[in-house]
Structure 1
Amino acid sequence: MLAKCLSKDQMRMEILSSVQRLHAELYTIQAEHFFVPSFIKAIDENTEQGFRNIMKEASPGVFVFEMLQPRFCEMLMAEVENFEKWVHETKFRIMRPNTMNKYGAVLDDFGMETMLDKLMEDFIRPISKVFFPEVGGSTLDAHHGFVLEYGMDRDVDLGFHVDDSEVTLNVCLGKQFSGGELFFRGVRCDKHVNTETQSEEVFDYAHLPGRAVLHRGRHRHGARATISGNRINLLLWCRSSVFRELRKYQKDFSSYCTECQRERKERQRQSVAAIKLVR
């Protein structure tokens, strides 16, 4: 099959009609087979304390927790490898997950859109409602789901950036690897995305298979080089159309941008100083 110039919808139709699924159970949410018991228990309780019992705030705004069972990780990696094999054999031109990565696959493109919608709505949105209300955590209504592949014959690292999301879920699937740590450098709005990092904002995180990281999309981050082996990660960019519409009319983002917070405190300090001088 020759490479084709297809629309996004045409491309998905072509893929869905051509790629044979290895694990049909991956395409619908089966919580007891996908997730570790502690995560299911917290979701069932649906309370702030229940979420805090399983989630460690490793750095301000960066939450780490055990999420995926090893069997699910293995099946999803095998499904992606099967898809990549089909792409290679047919020379089918696919869209990669984003402009920064040359390897990986958009999971929606080969049939996982419904499953990922359910993952966002029933599992990530309840958590985001508690921990990320200021960026639309309670109104997440769209997603971009994909897998990234790192290694000597894949993408090696990932530059400093922010995500096109309100909330990002990042879960390591495997395999054997060293290096590849995430580095976080503070939350910024569009206006301040390139401002200097403060010492208290510096945080590095080492991946472990099955363990998830949840953070704001505006939390600046990148990935260090994978030194050996192969690292495969599942990412779910969760978006809120309500928040995005409201953001168009805002000028101050001190509810989440640390630089906006700093500027606001400075204005307040100057105002108080001016009042004291008048008196």
Structure 2
Amino acid sequence: MAMPTGNGNGVLFPAMLQVTSSRLRLSPNSEHKPEAYDDLQLEFSPLLFSSLERYLPPAMLNLSRDAKIQFMRDILVRYFPEAERTRVQKQREYRERIMSNYQPLYKELQTLDETKFFVPSFLQAVNAGTEESLRKIIIEPTPGVYSFEMLQPNFCEMLISEVENIERWVHDTKFKIMRPNTMNKYGAVLDDFGLEPMLNKLMDVYLRPMAKVFFPEISRLALDSHHGFIVEYGADKDVELGFHVDDSEVTLNVCLGKDFFGGELYFRGVRCDKHVNTVPHPEEIGDYTHIPGRAVLHRGRHRHGARATTSGQRLNLILWCRR
């Protein structure tokens, strides 16, 4: 699959000669910690390079970052559809326009500080790394839906303030931002505002071990990309969310606050595309009431919706983990 790369004149770099006949792995090397590529100006997403690195042949893993970039870029240029490359380039330009004009309220949100972000019980359970430790902190309000305390109040308040700052900036500058998805008209895509590396670490270090325990059928797949955003509900925002499935393998949903009534999640079981509208079995019917700082983790294919937020304002952090 991989083609030889060189210096642009058909000359192979010495380090590449040993691996040009190698093929990418069929499954990712989950034990390998990939390099970070966020500091480079590349025509593809830095996260794409980090994800692809896990598929590199063993002989390449100890090569320099530059050599790996050349090898992976050649693959991406050859096999990535032109339309997708154009989309990625436009997204990069869009984010650059935002970051060159938007002044973050809390730059510390861009770096995951586990002791300031997470409650001790969550941090201890994940660091212990055992199924027993993780199961001790969760409740299962309905089959396949797992809830646990996760975020500290101060972090929730900071993230809410950051979103309010984004909304003020959008209003004052008339900058047209992309909203989270086709169903939510309010809220912000956090990846577009400099939080992509932080959210990727959240997925990679903290959610991946949980998915391995609670969704073993999914853990065989690499969760190596994400879509992270804030949704806003209230009288002058979105009010409710219709019955749907997420565009993810695993979804994290954490209530940030504020004061509100209503907005309960309702779940109706996991379905494939062909049977997404079938009637749920009695044991698949369950509700969940939001509590600020508390998270819900479920499969993306787990059908659900959100009832109307009848008063106040509710903000939730959503992370769609994908492969």
1:116 aligned onto 2:215: no
Classify 1:94/1:137 alpha carbon distance in 2 versus 1 (closer, same or farther; 3 Å). Answer: farther
Give the 5 Å matches for 1:91-110: 91-110=174-193
Picking from 217, 229, 237, the partner of 1:134 is: 217
Q: Is the contact made by 1:128 and 1:137 (CA closer than 8 Å) also made in structure 2?
A: no
107, 115, 120: which one pairs with 1:32?
A: 115
Matches within 5 A, 1:84-95: 84-95=167-178
Length, aligned pairs only: 235
Where in structure 2 are the equivalents of 1:258-269 lying within 5 Å?
Answer: none
**In structure 2, how many angstroms separate the alpha carbons of the residues matched to 1:217 and 1:199?**
20
1:46 and 2:117 aligned: no
Choose which of 153, 158, 161 in structure 2 pairs with 1:75: 158
Distance 2:305 2:260 in 1: 17
Deviation at 1:138, TM superposition (A): 5.7
The separation in 2 between residues aligned to 1:156 and 1:183, in whole angstroms, is: 15
CA contact (8 A) 1:35 1:68 kept: yes
Q: Equivalent residue of 1:100, what SS?
A: coil
Q: Is contact 1:128–1:138 with CA below 8 Å preserved after alignment?
A: no
Cα drift, residue 211 of structure 1:
0.3
Cα distance between partner residues in 1 of 2:220 and 2:100: 35
Q: CA deviation at 1:169?
A: 0.1
Superimposed CA distance per residue, residues 190-247 of structure 1 (whole angstroms, 9 cap, x where no aligned partner): 111111111111101100000000000000000000000000000000012xxxxxxx
Shift of 1:113: 0.3
**Displacement after TM superposition at 1:10 (Å):** 1.6
Is 1:184 matched up with 2:267? yes
Q: Which residue of 2 aligns with 1:225?
A: 308
Change in Cα spacing, 1:112 to 1:73, as seen in structure 2 (3 Å) is same
Kindly indicate whether the alpha-carbon contact (under 8 Å) linking 1:140 and 1:239 is maintained by their aligned counterparts in 2: yes
Query: TM-score, normalised on structure 2?
Result: 0.71
1:30-69 deviation digits (Å, cap 9, x = unpaired): 0000000000000110000000010112211000000000
In 2, Cα distance between the equivalents of 1:42 and 1:113?
24
Q: Structure 1 runs of 4+ off > 2 angstroms?
A: 135-138
What is the one-letter code of the residue matched to 2:267? F
Report sequence identity in percent. 66
* Structure 2 counterpart of 1:21: 104
Q: Could you tell me how far apart the structure 1 residues matched to 2:235 and 2:94 are?
A: 29
Q: Which residue of 1 aligns with 2:4?
A: none
Partner of 1:215: 298
Q: Distance in 1 between matches of 2:300 and 2:319?
A: 10
User: Equivalents in 1 of 2:212, 2:285: separation in Å?
Assistant: 25
Structural RMSD (CA): 1.1
SS at match of 1:76: helix
Q: Deviations over 1:134-179 (max 9, x none)?
A: 1246621010000000000000000000000000000000000000
Structure 2 residue 99 is matched with structure 1 residue 10: no
- For 1:179, the aligned partner's letter is G
The 3-state SS of whatever aligns with 1:14 is helix
1:196 aligns with 2:279: yes
Aligned-partner residue type, residue 292 of structure 2: P
Summarize the Cα distance change of 1:211–1:23 in structure 2 as closer, same or farther, 3 Å threshold: same
Counterpart check, 1:156 vs 2:239: yes
Supply the distance in 2 between the matched residues of 1:135 and 1:217 (Cα, whole angstroms).
Answer: 11
Partner of 2:312: helix, strand, or coil?
Answer: strand
CA distance in 1, matches of 2:312, 2:140: 28
Distance 1:47 1:238 in 2: 21
Would you say the 8 A contact 1:146–1:235 is kept in 2? yes
Q: 1:54 to 1:138 in 2, by over 3 A?
A: farther
Q: Distance in 2 between matches of 1:66 and 1:223?
A: 20
2-side partners of 1:70 and 1:162: how far apart? 29
CA distance in 1, matches of 2:93, 2:108: 25
